[in-house]
Structure 1
């Protein structure tokens, strides 16, 4: 399970850093049911929201 989490978070970080996709589009691309669920998942493992991560 930890390996899967790491792969999803790594992919999310790459998309946030290197694409112009919206957070909603990234959530959909990574097969999250909602943008809200993706945001909570990301923040749980990274410590900041996807928006905060992208802005830094």
Structure 2
């Protein structure tokens, strides 16, 4: 989901990317925990997306 969200972001399909980032982050937090490196990567990618899409 994270990788697909990154692809959507790069093609400016922002609304689709945002949904996938949110879902990926929720799944990672629930299954891996908030401090897991994968969760932190997804969170960082989502934050980067938010700066890009809404700035």
TM-score (norm 2): 0.44
Larger radius of gyration: 2
- Greater helix share, structure number: 2
TM-score (norm 1): 0.43
